[in-house]
Amino acid sequence: MKRIVAAIILIIIAAPVLVFAEQASVVTKENAVREYCRFFAPVVAPVRYKDVLDIVCPQDDWYKVRYKATEGCIHRTAVEKRSASFTGSTLPGRGAGSVSESEAALAGKGFNPQVEASYRKKYPAMKYNLVDRIEHENVSEKEIVSFITGGGLNQP
């Protein structure tokens, strides 16, 4: 009887260490939670850098995730697992109180917008205007899908 009571107490004490909510934060400027786990699948929720998603389960190269009120898929290279988040102490959303190891070491550090701004100020002749133009000249997902299917290529 004593052993059982001791075991139960141990479970209660140890439980906070054992229970983790698997979460991931977005590591790209912009991305999307998609209806199903395929590239170019319909978007159910747009996400941005550092948004935090609850991982439901992995599925091949994707994670099934929960974000705000929606569920869907995001590619695993678009997120980074947050491995030190405790259940009950964090909620999905920006600025949740948990960090992953590389986030702790790297996020926003070193070469960041502040450094770029100073560099540009120092070298005003650098062709950043053209770089911005290149980044803004985008093709839509619809066009990519049409290009893939029209050319008999594989849609991943």
Partner 1 sequence: MMKRIMASAFLMFFMLHPASHALDLRGITKHLDTLKSVVGATAKATRPISDEEEYFLGRAVAARVLGTYPLANDKDLTKYINLIGKTVSVSSGKPFTYGGYHFAVLETEEINAFACPGGIIFVTKGLIEMTANEEELAAVLAHEIAHINKRDGIAAIKSSRWTEALAVIGTEAARKYSLSDVAKLVTIFEDSIDDIFKTLIVNGYSRSQEFTADESALQYLAQSGYDPEALISFLKRLSGKGRPSGGGITATHPETADRIDNIAGKIPAGQADPRSVEIRTARFMEVQKPVR
Cβ-based neighbour number of residue 105 at 10 Å: 9
Tell which one of 95, 124, 138, 142 touches partner 1 (CB under 8 A).
Answer: 138
CA angle 121, 128, 112 (to 5 degrees): 65
Q: Which residues of 46-63 are buried (b: 16+ CB within 10 A; e: fewer)?
A: ebeebbbbbbeeeeeebb
CA distance 54 to 66: 5
CA 58, 61, 64, 68 dihedral sign is positive
Separation of alpha carbons 22 and 55, rounded Å: 5
Site size toward partner 1, by CB under 8 A: 72
| 95 counts as binding partner 1 under rule CB under 8 A | no
Pick the binder of partner 1 from 2, 3, 5, 142 (CB under 8 A): 5
Q: Does 69 bind partner 1 (CB under 8 A)?
A: no
Which residues, 27 to 66, sit near partner 1 by CB under 8 A?
27-31, 39, 49
Nearer to partner 1 (CB atom), residue 69 or residue 139 = 139
Among 24, 45, 64, 75, binds partner 1 (CB under 8 A): 75
Given 58, 91, 97, 147, the residue binding partner 1 (CB under 8 A): 147
The CB-of-82 to partner 1 minimum distance in angstroms stands at: 9
